[in-house]
Structure 1
Amino acid sequence: MRPVYFMTGFPGFIATRLIRRLLVGEPDARFELLVHPSQRARAERERAALGSAEQFALVEGDITQPDLGLPTSKFAELQDEVTHVFHLAAVYDLAVPQQLAHEVNVTGTRMVNAFVNSLTNLQRYVYFSTAYVSGDRAGRVLETELVKGQNFKNQYESTKYEAEVLVQELMQDVPITIIRPGVVMGDSQTGETAKFDGPYFIMRFLEKFASLPIPYIGSGVALVNLVPIDYIVEATCYLAHAAAGAGKVYHLTDPQPYNAKQVYELICRELLGKPPVWTLPAGVVYAALSVTAFRKWVQVERETLAYFVEQSVYDTAQAQRDLGAAGIHCPDLRSYMAQEVAFYKQHRTDREKLIAVR
């Protein structure tokens, strides 16, 4: 049976990379790509780069609407034909307002779940969550854990948590694989990424003070979980088809993460050619980033700092066991940071990659 993939989140970077990887193993697969009307023009450009319109159909709709905003005839067609669902569409902005985050991340997932429940030939439902559904938990977090009374650092975390709860409620009846990535970096070989967020904010921050003695920010003992996009894509495509992947949750995080001080120094050396030499209290930087003018000048979201004092330690036992059988492993950060920084330096003025800081 020719596989038919239904995917939300196109033309996003991860979705596009997933499609390209899936085609390696299944060149004749068909893709039904749900696209919000606001993304139509960009989606057309990305589809043209992928191949024929017959193989890659753009389906205009809205995950927040009943039946995903699709015409009745199209919805019925998909019910009979779709074999795999990849749900990636979400609002990822750490500073997102609560109403928008809930509408897209929670209501949207509820509507996708209803669609999944109506499919007659479903082989796998792959849901993209985040490791940070752990919220403010401290210590080791297992892949088998979710509801632990945690609080959350922002609306992104809380709504992704609510959404994963909804997906897990289907696991007894639907073959589901839940992916919980850490902070996603660019490609480990080329450095390619779509947006300069997360650790790239550090690069933007450091460049503002390149001519001065660079400080460390706080003690930096907390672990930082960075993973390259190619590891996420390779692992997801394998787990989406492996029998072992059904009914499981996977932390696609670094099994041997560096702490914040090590990551900061590694970036500093690669970007500026020198290490930090003194320490600035983290509270001072947080207070400075609370000032709009300073935040916009350094081009750093204040919410980013929370991920460099993270107290959670993500257990990857299931991921390492099931991916190890296929020879898939997360590369060491030191082996690819140079590529990440080089790509940033080459594209740092590209407006499409810059995150607007409010």
Structure 2
Amino acid sequence: MSHYFITGATGAIGSSLVPVLLQQPTSELTLLLRAETADKLNERLEELYRFWGIGSSDQAARQRIRALRGDVTLPEFGLTAHEYKALCAACTHIIHAAGNVRMNLPIEQARRSSVDSAKHVVALAHAAPKLEKIEFVSTVGVGGRTYRQVPEEWLTDRRDFHNTYEQAKAEAEELVRGEAERGLPVTVHRPSMVVGESASGRIIHFQVFYHLCEFLSGQRTRGLSPRFGGTRLDVVPADYVAKTIAWSSQTSASGGLILHSCSGPTLAVALVPLRERVRAAFSRAGRDLPRMVELPTPLFKAIVAGVSVFMPTELRRAVRTLPVFLDYLATEQTFINQRTQELLAAAQLPVPHPDRYLDKVLDYYLERSR
């Protein structure tokens, strides 16, 4: 019997992961969910059941899932002494997928989300006598600005970061690296920009990629666009990341390794063709699109900043986040995934080609954002 403790079950990766783990007939899952009251906890769990398609009559699946009300940033996750003791006694696997993906938080808040939560996960690992494996979800963003090719290994050189999210995740990785070197059975997973599931486009929340697509469509900038040149964007479907994590949790072969769940150098999508794909999808959905006008990036930023003063409040807020995206896209990076793919070959988990899923991802978004 495998007993998984999972953080981040309400996120893009965690919500895709739970159905994969339930395919293992002997697995039981404990989910850590934030909720103000016990009633709110039940409401959140029911929302997840609806997303997973687990109806009230499916008691076999429901009996294998337990939700605890807590907070990953608190010592012992804010659980009662009884709850924490029982968790330690039962836990055989930890999957830490929780994280605040806001990129521009004050650094101390970002550290609470990433570094403090990592400390508490490590503490649980040391207190769980049956522990077999930890899967720690990080991000390819820990490469910061320094690496043109981010390798599948621990990054120890000094480097600058695009934002506090990347910095805090890198600091959390450094903590985990020390534990791995002392023998903790942990695998670090670095996904790139996560999008909806490859077969359906489904995703629980619309995050960074979808905001970027709104800008690529030209709607939020009145058709103005910076010149992207040959810049590429690495995206990956949530179900591919989830299957990789689930596979890794059941093998010692990945212990102590860094796995890059990403499209990699050969499948990362060039931004100009992506923009055309986005605009085609928006047009199919009946969106009125302005004619695109490309500008040098400094001029684009200056014009958009000036024009945003006259925009409605909601649109103005959205436009003000654009520098965050532009800063990220200005760094020409690729993320190496050769070793990860070699390791996953035996599990028959090839990286899906973006041409197979991007239209589904965009259509799913547009059907639900009218």
TM-score w.r.t. structure 1 length? 0.88
Matches within 5 A, 1:261-280: 261-272=272-283, 278-280=293-295
Give distance in 1, aligned partners of 2:49 and 2:271: 41
Which residue is equivalent to 2:209?
Answer: 199
Indicate the residue corresponding to 1:5 in structure 2: 4
- CA displacement, residues 101-140 of structure 1 (integer Å, 9 cap, x when unaligned): 1112111211111111111111110000000000112321
Cα RMSD of the aligned pairs, angstroms, is 2.6
Query: In structure 2, how many angstroms separate the alpha carbons of the residues matched to 1:68 and 1:135?
Result: 29
Given residue 327 of structure 1, which amino acid in structure 2 is its aligned partner? Q
Q: Distance in 1 between matches of 2:277 and 2:87?
A: 48
Instruction: Give ranges in structure 2 of 5+ residues lacking alignment.
Output: none
1:22 aligns with 2:21: yes
1:180 is matched with which residue? 190
Counterpart position of 2:327: 306
Residue 315 of structure 2: aligned partner: 297
**Corresponding residue SS for 1:95:** coil
- Paired residue secondary structure (2:68): strand
Give the whole-Å Cα distance in 2 for the aligned partners of 1:109 and 1:290: 38
Q: How much does 1:210 deviate?
A: 9.6
Q: Which residue of 2 aligns with 1:62?
A: 71
Answer whether contact 1:265 1:275 (CA < 8 A) is retained.
no
CA contact (8 A) 2:147 2:333 kept: yes
Distance 1:15 1:270, change over 3 A: same
Aligned partners of 1:143, 1:290: CA distance in 2, in Å?
Answer: 38
Cα distance, 1:103–1:290 mapped onto 2, change above 3 Å: farther
Matches within 5 A, 1:229-308: 229-255=238-264, 256=266, 257-272=268-283, 278-287=293-302, 290=305, 293=309, 294=311, 296-297=314-315, 299-300=318-319, 301-302=321-322, 303-308=324-329
Summarize the Cα distance change of 1:206–1:259 in structure 2 as closer, same or farther, 3 Å threshold: closer
- Partners of 1:289 and 1:85 lie apart in 2 by 45
- Cα contact 1:268–1:275 (8 A) shared by 2: no
Report the CA distance shift for 1:124/1:347 in structure 2 as closer, same or farther (over 3 A): same
Q: Could you tell me whether the CA contact under 8 Å between 2:20 and 2:246 is conserved in 1?
A: yes
Specify the SS of the correspondent of 2:201.
Answer: coil
- Could you tell me how far 1:263 is from its partner in structure 2? 2.1
Cα 1:77–1:260 shift into 2, 3 Å: same
Q: Is 2:194–2:209's contact at 8 Å kept on the other side of the alignment?
A: no
- Alpha carbons of structure 1 residues 220 and 307: separation in structure 2 relative to 1, 3 Å: farther
Out of 215, 236, 247, the residue aligned to residue 227 of structure 1 is 236
| Cross-structure match for 1:40 | 41
Superposition map of 1:324-343 within 5 A: 324-343=345-364
Alignment correspondent of 1:352: none
In the TM superposition, residue 144 of structure 1 has moved relative to its aligned partner by 0.9
Query: For structure 1, which runs of at least 5 residues remain unmatched after alignment?
Result: 350-358
Q: In percent, how many aligned pairs have the same letter?
A: 24
Amino acid at match of 2:297: A
Task: For 2:276, give the aligned amino acid.
Answer: E
> Structure 1 residue 37: deviation in Å?
2.4
- Cα offsets for 1:250-308 (capped at 9, x unmatched): 11111221222232222223333699765222223434565665584163522122332
Q: C-alpha displacement at 1:216, in angstroms?
A: 4.8
Counterpart code for 1:15: G
Q: Which moved more, 1:267-276 or 1:156-165?
A: 267-276
TM-score (norm 2): 0.85
Residues paired across the two proteins, number: 346
Quick one: distance in 2 between partners of 1:254 and 1:33?
A: 29
Name the aligned partner's letter for residue 274 of structure 2: V
Q: Deviations over 1:135-181 (max 9, x none)?
A: 11232111113122111111111111111111111113211111100
1:356 paired residue number: none
Of 119-128 and 333-342, more deviation after overlay is shown by 333-342
